[in-house]
Structure 1
């Protein structure tokens, strides 16, 4: 039904599968000081990969949007609505992810208009206003839109979007990241307790007491579970059981 548009799709899938990082791209290397935002866009590609596949394939199809008068707004219409929903269903998008994809498609023209030649606070304020009209807060739509801009448009659109956000919210970016990180750490702690990878449970399975050596092993296991380390610490005799518990913790985080 749709062509897999090689360049954008290949980049999206390679990032989503962890085979490639956005920081390897030449245009990203020039965005000094925006490592955090680029990391968030990369995370959006992983967490919303099929949503973005829908956006890329549908946008490339062309003539996908119908623009009605201002009182009605924009919508995906006619035969395109059927194609959009068929594609969303084929990629098993949830109701929420389908909304993300639809709103992204409706706002791509606005992204081009706002950020092709401008990187000021007013441009980003206008984008936030459009998101509010669609019933969305800043996150995660800004990162999904950023990913779509990077995949589909000239690099200036993505760069200008980041600069405009920073002009409007110079401190908010850090606050958002800190809150997000704290929330994710809370989820990992819950996952570790549920999977038997908390400190008390690991003391029992490892037959160890609290101390520097145990602390090093505990941090190593947790880092491995989170994908921050490539291998487990030396766990002679219990590696298989720990691997099983790691799988359980990761499954909890994927829900």
Structure 2
């Protein structure tokens, strides 16, 4: 176990985490241990559920000032025939304006400098899980990916995309009737018709100016003018996804670890 922790520490120190601002901050032994413990508990919960696909969230940042508990979601997919869990996720490339899709193990998913060692696991109904598995095995996730990244991407615009938005739009492709969602615009239209309402965030003027001047991965120009000037941004958050899953997918189960 000590050798494993030492190896993971070296890995954590060497990797510039996607989705972070790439400040060199090695994880401590305790942080590595707690992250791996959360990954193991998540794997046990997923195995016990009998699920094919789950939506899994981590608390990588303190977003309590915005009334949010979790910061990032990925789609956990049981990789057959190997049977291991793979998390498909969109990650921002080190604070740039670019993003890419990644396949990671549960350990890597939680080895990101967590703010809180808790996970949210959303288990869609079996029918949606089956469709999600089919979607993830196709080229649809790539078609629904927009490389232009913004942390505050507007929920109903295709100009930018954030990590949670990609996961939600992929869920839309699996939840809609076959063939109805092939593009991001179609995914957003289906979500609006299905009753998705973004959990908006309010950002003060000082924070907006600082973010726009000094952070390449934040943009505001895709948002409607009125709310934008008031500092209100309807973006896709984990809380918004959870609310939509609870209201739209009656067969879904929600677990908190």
Q: TM-score, normalised by structure 2?
A: 0.27
Q: TM-score, normalised by structure 1?
A: 0.28
**Greater percentage in strand:** 2
**Greater percentage in helix:** 1
Greater RCO, CA 8 A, separation 6+: 2
